Amino acid sequence: MSTAHAVSEALTVLADIKITPRNPPEMDKFVNLVNYLAWFVSLAGIAAVIYGGGKFGWERFHGGAVESPKIILGALFGGIVATSAGPIMNAVVTGGG
């Protein structure tokens, strides 16, 4: 028996195996924890944008060094990464479909 034939038969056997994913026990508590964490990340991002906006006004009013755009851009970029993490991982795990 050739190697190619053996690999072909092994792939045929593996293709017949049906896998049905299930959540582990107590997974709902972990998902709830992740949802709370996502909520806190969103809240922190909103607070950072508000703080950066206030700091920007303060810096413009007093003529100091303008560092607040970095805070705002950092908060916005962090928010994009945080909100995209779920869909990106879902696409990776499910194969993009």
Q: How far from the centroid of its chain's Cα atoms is residue 12's Cα?
A: 35
Query: Please, what's the largest Cα pairwise distance for the chain?
Result: 83
What mean pLDDT, rounded, does the chain reach? Answer: 82
Please report where in the chains the tokens 């991982």 appear, as a residue.
89
Q: What is the pLDDT of residue 1?
A: 57
pTM exceeds 0.85, yes or no:
no
Going residue by residue through the chain (97 aa), what tens digit of pLDDT does each one get? 577 777 777 777 777 777 777 888 888 888 899 889 888 988 988 898 898 888 888 888 887 777 888 888 888 888 888 888 888 887 887 775 5
